[in-house]
Amino acid sequence: MNRFDFLTGAVRKTWGEYRTYGVLLPAAVAAGAFFNVMPAMLLKEIVDQVASSRADMLWKLAFAYLGAVALIGLADFLREYGATVFGQRVLLNVRNGMLRKLTRLPVRYFNTTPKGETMARLTADIDAINSLFVSGVVAAAADLFKIAGFLAALFLLSPYFGMVALAGVPAVYALSDYFRKRIYQKQVVVRRRVAEINTRIQEIYTGLPMIKSYGAESYFAGGFEPVLENHRIAMNANSVYDAWFPCVTQTVRSIFIAGAVYIGARIGGMSPETGLSIGAISAAADLFIRLFEPIEAVASELLTIQQAMAGIDRAGEFFAHAEEKTERSSGGFRPSGASVEVRNLSFSYSAGQPVLDGLSLRVPQGAKAAIVGRTGSGKSTLLHLIAGMYGTESGGVLIGGVDPYRLAPQERRRWIGIVPQTVHIFNGNLLENITLRDTSIGRERVERALETTGLAEAVGTLPEGMETMLGEGGFSLSFGQTQLVALARALVTDPPLLLLDELTSGLDAVTESKLFAALRAIEGERTIVTISHRLSGILDADVVHIMERGKIRESGAPEELASKEGWYARYKRLEESGWRMA
């Protein structure tokens, strides 16, 4: 697959939906090139009429000149409007494609790719497509057409004007390209220095209470001064090129214009006294002024295209990632129960570094199992595999005889409830945070889940009950309440299998007791698998599995394991002595 296939596909789709705007673009570009020549040619006639003391056509020519200027504006408007609408639609199609791609990527991608990198692909890199259309390809094409039109008009006035213009085009372009590239390089440095200032300000602002408590204001102020000085130096370096650029280009343009007028008058087939008409010389001067503007712009537009192509190439890398390949169930088969069976399971995130190694265990339906181990022992990975978030590499995982990875996501949510260690509260109301906007979940089921988790009373105190907005800019829940919301989110579909990841980590005793009470209330025939790095965090387990380095080291009922001198007994003594397993 070519890295640019995503863009060509989006352009083809947009062409089918917005063909009118696609046709409008080249038409507006060609018309704009023609209209841009008209004012200079009309100026020639106006000046010649004034010079010859004839005024019979002056008013008509003046109005024609104004009309030509208006037509230029209209053509530019249509070009910008068409490019913006077409470009934004392409952008929308690309972003929709990226969203679909995100849903098809395996969980492994999200574990190995920094969030900031993915966000950059979805924002800045995709915005490059809009720059490519509006400020890049379309603008460059329009300017190249203008240059061609101006050159043709100059040759029409006099071949000598045309030859001077041809000599001036590469010179002005090279000069503009030199300054644009240097200015861009300096601006990159300036942006980096601004980022350093923002980082330092955020650091100081966040830690201000601590800084003032320790009287460290002068230390941090002193550290801030070099950052500001680096920004000043970068700005000065950029300003040098910014200041010189218009001066040098205006001088070069003036030299070519003066040279063209002199040569046109001197060698135009007549003596310097009689030369070309005043109108022709005025038109040539006007055309030269108009000619050099798009030449300078093209240098900038080519730089924009290069930058945009770099962003598009990075977006293409995102689309090139391998998608999840598995035959998902569409409701044709379902688990026959909620038993959990893991058979000789091996798994690794990176080649040669196994996280799970030949692991096997079985949790009967309706049982409560606890998986305990130190940080890095593979507990969370095992839970994710049971939840169907990853496909197995070697061995297998079965829920009621079915591989959970092959279940459709909607089906999986109805069979497996997951309470992660880190709870995410989405921007939305409490109801949406529990249902995750699944319209098949009725309000009464949400109310039942809130009652079960003990959140109903707290919800009654919220400003708008279940309609209270949470997340950024909304109502803030306590840490314990967010854990209860996560539990309600898992229970709202009444799943027969419940997976709990470090559920009580960081909770106070009161909230922990509420969680345990809620879980005891919904036990019944439900299978519950809990993972924890401490024995006190497990819930009335029927069986405990001790994990270490990707293997089950010990299994059995808590009372049985406590009576033996093994892993469980040693962990228990350490906790009772005040030590915690890391």
Residues 6+ apart with CB under 8 A from 17: 89
pLDDT of 309 > 50? The answer is yes
pLDDT of 304 > 80? The answer is no
What confidence category does residue 1 fall into, taking pLDDT thresholds of 50, 70 and 90?
low
pLDDT in tens, 180-228: 788 878 877 887 788 788 778 878 888 888 888 888 888 888 888 888 8
Confirm if 283 and 260 have CB atoms less than 8 A apart.
Answer: no
- Least confident window among 35-44, 316-325, 335-344, 472-481: 472-481
- Least confident window among 140-144, 369-373, 539-543: 539-543
Q: What average pLDDT does this structure show over 484-488?
A: 88
CATH classification of 366-374+407-576 is 3.30.460.20, yes or no? no
Confirm if 406 and 329 have CB atoms less than 8 A apart.
Answer: yes
DSSP letter for each residue of 395-446: EEEEETTB-GGGS-HHHHHHHEEEE-SS----SEEHHHHHHTT-TTS-HHHH
Q: Give me the residues paired with residue 498 across strands.
A: 417, 528
pLDDT confidence of residue 55: 66
The Cα–Cα gap between 311 and 126 comes to 7
Return the amino acid letter for 329.
S
What confidence category does residue 331 fall into, taking pLDDT thresholds of 50, 70 and 90?
low
What confidence category does residue 578 fall into, taking pLDDT thresholds of 50, 70 and 90?
low
Return the amino acid letter for 504.
T
For the stretch 37-61, what's the b/e string if a residue is b when 16 or more beta carbons lie within 10 angstroms of its beta carbon?
bbbbbbbbbbbbbeeeeeeeeeeeb
CA 519 vs. chain centroid, Å, equals 39
What confidence category does residue 332 fall into, taking pLDDT thresholds of 50, 70 and 90?
low
pLDDT confidence of residue 476: 75
Chain mean pLDDT for the chain: 81
Confirm if 568 and 546 have CB atoms less than 8 A apart.
Answer: yes
pLDDT confidence of residue 70: 94
pLDDT of 73 > 90? The answer is yes
Angle (deg, nearest 10), helices 278-319 and 19-51: 160
1-157 CATH: 1.20.1560.10
Q: What average pLDDT does this structure show over 471-478?
A: 69
Confirm if 138 and 29 have CB atoms less than 8 A apart.
Answer: yes
pTM for the complete prediction?
0.66
Angle (deg, nearest 10), helices 58-104 and 138-157: 150
H/E element, 371: strand 368-373
What Rg do the C-alpha atoms of the chain give, in angstroms? Answer: 36
pLDDT confidence of residue 270: 46
pLDDT of 264 > 70? The answer is no
Confirm if 50 and 58 have CB atoms less than 8 A apart.
Answer: yes
The Cα–Cα gap between 143 and 389 comes to 52
Q: Give me the residues paired with residue 398 across strands.
A: 341
What confidence category does residue 271 fall into, taking pLDDT thresholds of 50, 70 and 90?
very low
pLDDT of 479 > 60? The answer is yes
pLDDT confidence of residue 75: 92
Q: What average pLDDT does this structure show over 135-144?
A: 84
Give the residue, 136 or 397, on which the prediction is more confident.
397
Phi and psi (nearest 5°) for 6? -65, -35
| Nearest alpha-carbon partner for 173 in 299, 302, 257, 289 | 299
pLDDT in tens, 356-411: 888 899 998 888 888 888 877 888 889 888 988 888 878 889 988 888 888 888 88
Confirm if 482 and 423 have CB atoms less than 8 A apart.
Answer: yes
pLDDT confidence of residue 269: 46
pLDDT confidence of residue 370: 87
Confirm if 313 and 3 have CB atoms less than 8 A apart.
Answer: yes
For the stretch 351-388, what's the b/e string if a residue is b when 16 or more beta carbons lie within 10 angstroms of its beta carbon?
eeebbbbebebebebbbbbbbbbbeebbbbbbbbbbbb
Percent of the chain exceeding pLDDT 70 equals: 89
3-state SS class at 223: helix
Phi and psi (nearest 5°) for 295? -60, -45
Q: How many CA atoms lie within 13 A of 183 on its CB side?
A: 18
The Cα–Cα gap between 46 and 54 comes to 10
Q: Give me the residues paired with residue 555 across strands.
A: 545
Q: What average pLDDT does this structure show over 551-566?
A: 82
Q: What average pLDDT does this structure show over 124-146?
A: 80
| Nearest alpha-carbon partner for 259 in 178, 158, 372, 164 | 164
pLDDT in tens, 85-124: 888 888 888 888 888 888 888 877 887 777 767 777 777 7
The Cα–Cα gap between 91 and 100 comes to 14
The Cα–Cα gap between 98 and 6 comes to 9
For the chain, the structural domain boundaries read 1-157, 159-275, 366-374+407-576
Distances in Å between the Cα of 466 and the Cα atoms of 254, 458, 483, 488, 494 are 71, 10, 16, 13, 19
pLDDT in tens, 398-449: 988 888 888 888 888 888 988 888 888 888 888 998 998 888 888 999 998 8
Q: Give me the residues paired with residue 532 across strands.
A: 372
pLDDT confidence of residue 274: 40
What confidence category does residue 31 fall into, taking pLDDT thresholds of 50, 70 and 90?
very high
What kind of architecture, by CATH, is found in domain 159-275? Up-down Bundle (1.20)
pLDDT confidence of residue 221: 83
Equal CATH topology for 1-157 and 366-374+407-576:
no
Q: Give me the residues paired with residue 353 across strands.
A: 350
pLDDT of 575 > 70? The answer is no
3-state SS class at 351: coil
Dihedral sign, Cα of residue 350, residue 354, residue 358, residue 361: negative
The Cα–Cα gap between 413 and 435 comes to 11
